[in-house]
Amino acid sequence: MKASVGGYARARDLRHALELLSVAGEAGRVLAGGQSLVAALNMRLTAGDILVDISALGACRGVDDAGDSLRIGALTRHVEIAEDPLVRAHAPMLAEAVGLIAHAAIRNRGTIGGAIAHADPAAEFPACALALGAEFEVESLSGPRTIPAAAFFRDTFETALAPGEILTAVIVPKAAEAEAQVIEEVARRCGDYALAGLCLTRRAGRHRLALFSLGPRPMLAERAMAALDAGDMAGAAAALKAEIDPPSDTQASAAYRRHLAGVLLRRAAARIEGGAA
């Protein structure tokens, strides 16, 4: 099937992109790496969109040291995240996550901003952002605003982004001394979306646990985090299984996903205990 597109415009810079979106109104759609959007267009899941191509916005690309945090431009591609020395040193979970996302061709085009804005509940980067306590810089013709990851993901493919807004950067706090960060998932085949996955950090004895493919959106497992902080591994696994409501679909039943969540938590905790970062 061929895509049904209402129009296409390539933005010169951020201001131009925002103006193009404003003119396009409700039909306006940001195009970044195209790895999710073009597939949706080809399947006619969406039609008549006026695509505003932001891929030439150099100011939204690359990783900068911002003191206590990293500023990752929204157009930074997955492959660039995996290879970036700042990311590998200060947010190693993001670099590790790239190895779990799709295949090389998709990692060469897909952008972190696209993955965050798309808000697929099975995607790795949104859960990483939650676990790492990231914030998102967003720009519109009314000016900039910052949205914490914890307030961004509303439902399946639904975010706090308002019409006309563009996600410009992901702000990730740098890992503290001796902080551990791991991501674990189970997928049927290498490169497939995960059947279940989680991101775990431990900073000064406090844990953050974010889940993906275990509900309608990425979420923090607050009760499991509290049990982990108390050093109660069995309690954490039990709390995790109790606080999730995973979907049943053609890939896996809810009961199997719940089982996987417990397995993955034990695996991630063992890596952290073993000193993995």
Ligand X SMILES: Cc1cc2nc3c(=O)[nH]c(=O)nc-3n(C[C@H](O)[C@H](O)[C@H](O)COP(=O)(O)OP(=O)(O)OC[C@H]3O[C@@H](n4cnc5c(N)ncnc54)[C@H](O)[C@@H]3O)c2cc1C
φ, ψ dihedrals at 191, nearest 5°: 95, -15
φ, ψ dihedrals at 227, nearest 5°: -65, -40
Closest approach, Cβ 115 to ligand X, in A, equals: 4
Residue 76, interface with ligand X (CB under 6 A)? no
Pattern 171-210, binding to ligand X, x per CB under 6 A? ----------------------x-----------------
Closest approach, Cβ 257 to ligand X, in A, equals: 16
Closest approach, Cβ 28 to ligand X, in A, equals: 9
**Binds ligand X (CB under 6 A): choice among 17, 31, 239, 261:** 31
Do 31 and 53 form a contact (C-beta atoms < 8 A)? yes
Question: What is d(CA 223, CA 155) in angstroms, rounded to the nearest whole number?
Answer: 21
Residue 102, interface with ligand X (CB under 6 A)? yes
Stretch that binds ligand X, among 85-93, 160-168, 230-238, 247-255 (CB under 6 A): 160-168
Rg of the chain over all Cα atoms, to the nearest angstrom: 19
- Tell me which residues in 11-30 interact with ligand X (CB under 6 A): 29-30
Do 106 and 118 form a contact (C-beta atoms < 8 A)? no
Query: Nearest 10 degrees: CA dihedral of 108, 109, 111, 117?
Result: -140
φ, ψ dihedrals at 42, nearest 5°: -65, -30
Residue 258, interface with ligand X (CB under 6 A)? no
Return the structure tokens found at 182: 């791991």
Stretch that binds ligand X, among 18-26, 35-43, 199-207, 217-225 (CB under 6 A): 35-43
Closest approach, Cβ 239 to ligand X, in A, equals: 26
